[in-house]
Amino acid sequence: MGDAGVIDEGFFRRYRELLDAEDSAFDELEHATEDGDAGRFARALVLWQESLDAKIAWLDDSGYDIALPGRH
């Protein structure tokens, strides 16, 4: 994406990639929870948090300030 705040096809493509990564990480977290696997849960939680952080950082870099509950 060239200009901050511009939503174009490239913006949507990258956002979809980030959402897919987040969804995949959450699925792993969900499966670890269902299986009662604490070690796998801990690793999946880190991956999910990293995917959320990547999405939020990218949105911020793209000119969108996302206010999140509990984060100031």
Own/partner pairs, 35-44, CB within 8 angstroms, 24+ separation: none
Residue spans of the domains in the chain: they are: 26-64
Check pLDDT > 80 for residue 56.
yes
pLDDT at position 1, please? 44
> pTM of the full predicted structure?
0.79
Instruction: Determine if residue 5 is left, alpha or beta; phi over 0 gives left, psi from -120 to 50 gives alpha, anything else beta.
Output: left
Check pLDDT > 90 for residue 65.
no
CB 43 within 8 A of CB 30: no
Closest CA to 53 of 41, 38, 28, 71: 71
Residue range 46-59: mean pLDDT, rounded: 95
